[in-house]
Amino acid sequence: MAFEDIRIVLIEPAHPGNIGAVARAMKTMSLRRLVLVRPRQFPSEDAERRAMGAIDILQRALVVDDLDQAIGDCRLVIGGSARARTFPHRVLDARQCGAQLIEETAAGEPAALVFGPERTGLENHDLDRCSHQVLIPTNEAFSSLNLASAVQLICYEIFLAAREPITPEEVDPAELPSSQNEMEYFYDHLTRALDSRGFLDGQMREVTIMKLRRLFGRSRPNSGELKLLHTLTRLIHRDGG
Amino acid sequence: MAFEDIRIVLIEPAHPGNIGAVARAMKTMSLRRLVLVRPRQFPSEDAERRAMGAIDILQRALVVDDLDQAIGDCRLVIGGSARARTFPHRVLDARQCGAQLIEETAAGEPAALVFGPERTGLENHDLDRCSHQVLIPTNEAFSSLNLASAVQLICYEIFLAAREPITPEEVDPAELPSSQNEMEYFYDHLTRALDSRGFLDGQMREVTIMKLRRLFGRSRPNSGELKLLHTLTRLIHRDGG
């Protein structure tokens, strides 16, 4: 069931009241899985008060230490961001985001929607772990959506998308995009290979790694393709490692 | 201008914080006209705090004694209600509501969206003053939308309905995907590099080249990224070619 497979991930939410409001927003649209990465304060009475009848969502919420624990097993990871970044993520609007999440979870695969802290939004290094970015259309002069409002709008689009009849396609598991953990393993291999050739020395090291992550993250390689990329990486490595 | 002609009317809002959250929700979607019917407490610091950058909406808000003052000049009055009533209003979902409001205000006619108190929603006698009712699709087992969330969702649908046909944005040429010619040049380079390492020998040669084309073609690298891929390819090449 798609709703069960879509998790809402909040990174470092500062105000417990917002966590409660997010839980309520989720439940009104049938979403149930909340993951909190380093919440400043949780559990909390403020969260429970704002959750109203959605306390069960808070009780089932998973609290983790880092984003990778929250999304490691997901092939589709969508980052919520108030503004388009300069680098070319695949950008979805809220409606497309709902449709994509419902489509890709139809076969029971987990997917994640990730939101950053209230004041700052997602950091670039967190957005780098996302294959897509969702942008909610807003007033250009005032795009300051409350965290719970952003979650509410996207959950609403998920709920609407789920109402459309979907015939899940038969997908060959070998054709599925690799998981986030598998991608991290590849980035690590590639980084070591480039290091072995002295290619990543100097100031541009971090920028180059980030560029490569974005490029390969965007292509969402399946298992066979990822294997091929590992082979190319071994060809780069000085010792064939 | 349609946005200016659509007013959001709150009847007896109990919590001033909610008034502020409604103002913020409105402004993110370009709505500006807020009318308060017998608010329990207004103006209020709570409202201002929750409004964030939307204090101008609060400052311009009209406070009136009864609903007729708020909607008397409107031909289209839509009541927001969590459940369908037994009497035969024309019921719109949120999306239809947005479209109808934009359509009917295109000629400068005022229209109103009316919401009841947080706990009870619209009374029947208030709903009687509405020509339509809007129902936001929600989880049947938990339809308890926060007042500001309900306003947020409907304002979002109004905003989407009002969007003009989109004019293509100015795109930085450096961010554009590479041309097919540039991609062919890269595939050729990569093929030569792999050949130099004996990697493409044998039966699988064509299949492997095809796989690589699909993988890199899918990521649609821009010029900077393609340059990076050429660099990696040189690292693969036996002679650094």
Which of A42-46, B133-137, B145-149, B217-221 has the lowest average pLDDT?
B217-221
A28·B138 Cβ contact <8 A: yes
What is the C-alpha separation between B105 and B5, in angstroms, rounded?
Answer: 6
Tell me which residue of A115, A127, A101, A131 sits closest to A4, measured CA to CA.
Answer: A101
Measured between beta carbons, the chain A residues lying within 8 angstroms of B187 are none
Angle between helices B223-236 and B180-196 (to 10 degrees): 10
Q: Phi first, then psi: what are they for A14, rounded to 5°?
A: -85, -35
Of B28, B95, B148, the CB nearest to A144: B28
Tell me which residue of A135, A79, A23 sits closest to B139, measured CA to CA.
Answer: A23
What is the C-alpha separation between B200 and A150, in angstroms, rounded?
Answer: 49
Angle between helices B205-219 and A205-219 (to 10 degrees): 110
Percent of the residues in chain B that have a pLDDT greater than 90, as a whole number: 60
**Contacts with B60 (C-beta within 8 Å, 6 or more apart), sequence order:** B32, B33, B34
Q: Which CATH number does A173-236 carry?
A: 1.10.8.590
Query: Are β-strands B90-93 and B132-135 bridged in parallel, bridged antiparallel, or unpaired?
Result: parallel
A144·B199 Cβ contact <8 A: no
What is the C-alpha separation between B75 and B80, in angstroms, rounded?
Answer: 16
B24·A53 Cβ contact <8 A: no
Average pLDDT, chain B: 88
Looking at the DSSP assignment, which residues form a beta bridge with residue A36? Answer: A10, A63
What is the C-alpha separation between B147 and A141, in angstroms, rounded?
Answer: 24
ipTM of the prediction greater than 0.95, yes or no:
no
pLDDT band at B167 (very low <50, low <70, confident <90, very high): very low
pLDDT higher for B14 or B106?
B14
How close does chain B come to A69, measured CA to CA in Å? 26
B145·A225 Cβ contact <8 A: no
What is the C-alpha separation between A124 and B85, in angstroms, rounded?
Answer: 48
Of the candidate CATH numbers 3.40.640.10, 3.30.310.50, 3.40.50.1980, 3.40.1280.10, the domain formed by A2-163 belongs to: 3.40.1280.10
How close does chain B come to A120, measured CA to CA in Å? 15
Angle between helices B147-162 and A147-163 (to 10 degrees): 70
B89 pLDDT more than 70:
no
What is the C-alpha separation between B102 and B157, in angstroms, rounded?
Answer: 10
How close does chain B come to A34, measured CA to CA in Å? 17
The sign of the torsion formed by the CA atoms of A160, A163, A167, A171 equals: positive
CA A104 and chain centroid, separation: 13
> Which residue of chain B has the CA closest to A236?
B236
Mutate to test the interface with B, among A18, A26, A29 (most CBs of B within 10 A): A29
Q: What is the pLDDT of residue B199?
A: 83
Fold of B2-162: Alpha/beta knot (3.40.1280)
The two tokens of residue A236 are 């780069």
Residue with tokens 């695969």: A109
Tell me which residue of A134, A144, A157, A151 sits closest to A19, measured CA to CA.
Answer: A151
Per-residue pLDDT of chain A (241 residues; tens, 9 = 90+): 589 999 999 999 999 999 999 999 999 999 999 999 999 999 999 999 999 999 999 999 999 999 999 999 998 999 997 666 655 568 899 999 999 999 999 888 899 999 999 999 998 888 888 888 999 999 999 999 999 999 999 999 999 999 876 555 566 778 888 988 999 999 999 999 999 998 877 778 888 998 898 899 888 899 999 999 999 999 998 876 6
What is the C-alpha separation between A47 and A198, in angstroms, rounded?
Answer: 50
Measured between beta carbons, the chain A residues lying within 8 angstroms of B95 are 160
B199·A28 Cβ contact <8 A: no
Q: What is the pLDDT of residue A83?
A: 67
Q: What is the pLDDT of residue B116?
A: 96
Domain ranges of chain A: 2-163, 173-236
B120 pLDDT more than 50:
yes
Buried b (16+ CB within 10 A) or exposed e, B201-233: eeeeeeebeebbbebbeebbbbeebbeebbebb
How close does chain A come to B193, measured CA to CA in Å? 10
B24 pLDDT more than 90:
yes
Decide: A143 and A83 in contact? Cβ < 8 Å: yes
What are B201-218's pLDDT values in tens digits? Answer: 777 888 888 888 888 877
Q: Phi first, then psi: what are they for A9, rounded to 5°?
A: -110, 125
pLDDT band at B168 (very low <50, low <70, confident <90, very high): very low
Q: What is the pLDDT of residue A227?
A: 94
B171 pLDDT more than 70:
no
Amino acid at A88: P
B92 pLDDT more than 80:
yes
